[in-house]
Each structure stands twice: as C-alpha cells, then as structure tokens.
Amino acid sequence: MVWNSKLRYQIGLRYTGGACMLLMLSLKFGIIPTVMSIGVRDFDIDGELWVKLRLIPTEPFVGAVSWAFVALPKIKFVLSPFRLFNLMGGFVNIRETVYQSRFG
C-alpha cells in the first residue's frame, strides 16, 4: 500500500505582542573583531502563510512540514544598540523631548 497524503493550508498570521530580542552582531574591520548587542523591540508581523504537511501512516503521522509566505509580510520593529536608545526613531524622540521641555 502506498501512502501519499498531503494537507495544504493557507493561514493568516498576525503577531503584535511587543516581543523583545537581543541580537549579537559581530563586525570585523581589519584585524580587530567587534561584537555589538542590538536590541529588537516592538516586533510586529502580518501576512499570509502557506503550510503543507506530508502525512505518513505511522506515528508521529507527519513526515514533513513545508511553509512559506504567500506574499511579502509586513514586518515592523525598533532597533536599539546596546539597549540604550532607539536607533530607528531616536532623532524624532529627541526633537519631541526638546519641544516639550521648551513649550510644554
């Protein structure tokens, strides 16, 4: 008996939970390597996911899982080096702070 069953799904995926991550970025300029920690926060993702399961007749009943995004997902996040300040919107925040302290 030949077992060749596949399940295919298209799933909407959205995460807006404010996940925080820490990436260690290794840079090599000349002979001195530098490691820099980059904080990633306010991580949001929104997209359509295509999932394919290849079933098998014995436990665990799933032989392979394939997945891919149907189209480019919308991904938003904020980077902050050394977890000290906002790399992507730092200038905007500084201007708002100065404005509020002067006219606030």
Q: What is the pLDDT of residue 20?
A: 82
Task: Supply the DSSP string of 23-78, one letter for each residue.
Answer: EEEEEEETTEEEEEEEEEEEEEEEEEEEEEEEE-SSTT-EEEEEEEESSPPEEEEE
Kindly report, residue by residue over 19-74, the tens digit of the pLDDT: 888 888 888 877 888 887 888 888 899 999 999 999 988 888 899 999 999 999 99
Amino acid letter at 51? V
Q: What is the mean pLDDT of residues 70-94?
A: 68
Find the radius of gyration of the CA atoms of the chain.
22
More confident residue, 5 or 81: 5
The predicted model scores a pTM of 0.56
